[in-house]
Structure 1
């Protein structure tokens, strides 16, 4: 992993939580941290005058305050700030070309059951060139500032295994590296469709087609994980097979998740963006940081 960890910082509590999460991760990975603020893309509830100089001053204060607090806690971190005038979504997508990771804040619904993602965040998450992580405000899995330690029971990296071919490689590489770095275990989650949606005539002809189908999926999942287990022998792995819609199955694994990892396909045109239903559901409902990994 090369390049900086880039954080979109708008001054909201969610973006500050994201900055704290990113700072800790950057330090662990021996990467630099870039805090980026677009003074033309600020929260609607910022109580400042509409004049450009006031907006720029607000942006400088947001960056300075976050920089001072983070460096007071993580003095060995290489941290830079940047105030830009271009729209945040455009700048963040462009920075993702050379970044190791992009981190965005997401305001919660006020409970532990979901995210509230704005159009800027969704646009960036659907177009970024590098892994992008959405961090919810006051996330219990995030060590934030002083006196806010991460919840002790959050010790899993949950990976949504929607595909088991080459596309899964990018997700597993990110997840296993993170788990090794943070001393976590991997929970690889594979959702099987309801039996009524299975059309394989050989399976349907067996006495217990559901059991046979789950057993075959278990074998396929184990085969996909095998090379990563060999590469990361110290990382514990739990194989999780369940019947039901993928987004629902993934949500059911969330109670002990420190990080969830999902994928999205790269779009052929940089003018379009798309998040699949599983990634979209994870971003809106999982109560932990969610990493979205682009893959071919």
Structure 2
């Protein structure tokens, strides 16, 4: 069975930006793109309301996906684009659609004046429950945003891609996350910037104020861990130039800062089989809400 790139569409600017990003990624992957729209059942007591009548339903369920698909075919020749209408609650339907996908792409609203995302409940639920990679794309994201600036200082799709940024816990590296990041960089013909942020152990804090050598020693230990985790992947992807960084401080904050110069941010999400339900960790939560670049969340054990 041929996998597809799936993009969720609800007619909003953020979902349209996600569909555009998904079309570009489908072309890089050489895979078809499926645009899915979820039609949530209308409660019985509202079913006869004029604004939810037959014409409105037809507009949202047929015209918008059709016109979006037609536009994508024109702007991305060679990409096979299909549409599908799903029924049910958006989070559950999109999570189900992701099962047979290479990855699923969703939109998130830009935070006015601050940049980055404002991830809604649907996006967070899909991220927390699907085993497939999920990419969140902010409203207004354009192809040029992923590329370095030209000599005039203007980003352009004709210039090379910005590096892919990987947030990695080098003490517990996962092959699925590493492979996704290296593959993404290789497809774009760009470098991979790997960031391993770390917080100081509480019992070192006071000592570090008076002993810079201790700080350097801890940083050096983390650098060795990161080099060890990346070594086999450097050998597997020799064409990908890798830059390693092990800054002290909040990993989430460090990744958000670094995302300003990235074409794509890749982070992992540990699958937690808890009786209290699935959830994402604090680093993923921070990056999803504040990154200015598209964010790929890769689930792993």
- 1:39 and 2:46 matched: no
- Distance (Å, rounded) in 1 between the aligned partners of 2:62 and 2:189: 36
Describe how 1:70-219 pairs up with structure 2 within 5 A: 70-111=72-113, 113-140=115-142, 150=157, 155-165=162-172, 167-194=173-200, 196-198=202-204, 208-219=213-224
Q: Is the 8 A contact 1:4 1:99 kept in 2?
A: yes
CA contact (8 A) 2:170 2:222 kept: no
Q: Are the structure 2 counterparts of residues 179 and 219 from structure 1 closer, same or farther at C-alpha, using a change threshold of 3 Å?
A: same
Q: How far off is 1:142 after superposition?
A: 5.6
- Alignment partner, residue 243 of structure 1: 248
Check 1:111–1:185 CA distance in 2 against 1; reply closer, same or farther (3 A cut).
Answer: farther
Q: Which runs of 4+ in 1 moved over 3 A?
A: 140-144, 148-154, 195-199
Gaps of 5+ in 1: 43-47
Preserved CA contact (<8 Å) 1:141 1:258: no
The 3-state SS of whatever aligns with 2:101 is coil
The alignment's TM-score, normalised by the length of structure 1, stands at 0.87
- Tell me how many residue pairs correspond in the alignment: 285
Cα distance in 1 for partners of 2:158, 2:284 equals 24
In 2, Cα distance between the equivalents of 1:41 and 1:156? 43
5+ residue gaps, structure 2, are 43-49, 147-154
Query: How far apart, in 2, do the equivalents of 1:25 and 1:130 lie?
Result: 15
For residues 80-138 of structure 1, the C-alpha deviation after alignment (integer angstroms, 9 at most, x for no partner) is: 10012212211111122211001000110124532111111111111111000000011
The structure with the greater share of residues assigned to helix is 2
**1:240 positional shift:** 0.9
Shift of 1:184: 1.4
- Deviation of residue 153 (structure 1)? 7.5
